[in-house]
Structure 1
Amino acid sequence: MTSEAMRLEVITGSVREGRVGPVVASWFAGQARRHGEFSVGQIDVADYALSTSMSGSPEQATRDALDALSPRLHAADAYVVVTPEYNHSYPAALKNVIDWHFAEWHAKPVGLVSYGGISGGLRAAEHLRQVFAELHATTVRNTVSFHGHGPWDDFGGAGEEEAAGAAESLLDQLGWWALTLREGRLARSYRA
């Protein structure tokens, strides 16, 4: 067992102009820092120029982006993906980031924070569960979900206490899985 702090990367999955993803991700990262079990980083998918083409070798810009992003994903003990719901699923840019990586996700837990519309992005979260299972990652049961437009401009209004409680439950589960899986990876190599 190692005493090193567990590393959590909070991933903002939308790249659309006018998006609220960075606000939601920053709010959640703050909740994670207060929780105290993780060293918290933030990854914004919009900061990486990843090609949408999956055929052949990646373009130079994509290779450069992968060179910058892959080590951060590899070093993480856990992830929280912040996603809106687009057309009953999650954004293409997020799918792209997930698909350009494979071993980085193995035997690690993923928490899901979703937002948007009447469903609060839960359909996007459910689709991500299937994808991460295929990548040998474990999604935790609890989620944080913001229905409608949410209190993006002023976290502190109605609903924040409930959201903070949901975040704490998600982080408790994520911490258990992150520690358990990290100890497992240290004790024995994971083979996909």
Structure 2
Amino acid sequence: NKAVEETDNKILTYNENIASIYYHSTCGGRTEAAHNIFTKKEIPYMNGIEDGISPNCKISPKFEWRESYSADDIISRLKKWSFIKNGKFRLRDVYIASRFSSGRVKEMVFELIDEYSDEIKISIYGNQIRSVIRTANNKRILWSTFFDISLIKNVIKIEGNGFGHGVGLCQYGAISLSRKGWDFNEILEHYFPGIEIKSIND
């Protein structure tokens, strides 16, 4: 296998140290900074990049996606995660309060009215949104946090891009770049700016 032979005994380093890296399926056009998802400490070679003027991962089946929920679907998920207790609730509003610089959702807010007419506001942050909301069929976590949301007549619609946390190498983007003739060095340096590729024996 040519790819295996070319990368045999190769490692990624940054400032003479072995680099810790992440990867995901589909970035949707821009990768995410590692410190927004995995660690509070900034990692210089994983601060997020724009993945092409015309996104390289457009070839992915999850470059664009849509999910639709009833208000009861959302309330059920909030109960499961103990954001609210059992009882009757009405979903009054849902909106995105803030985003990371990549465009991914940083804070998502749900406004509910309980059976006593009291107002409840729930905030969910970052990648946890994917675990709480899940896909409409409830079979897996939500594709990504790179999305817009609307509430119309008790129907919540989410329209998004990408698949995964968005940090590091975009697999579909890398496939696209390789088809354009980029070699593995160029692809890795694109997704991890500032890294060096060295032989393990150097």
Which structure is larger by alpha-carbon Rg, 1 or 2? 2
State the structure with bigger RCO (CA 8 A, min sep 6), 1 or 2.
2
TM-score (norm 1): 0.23
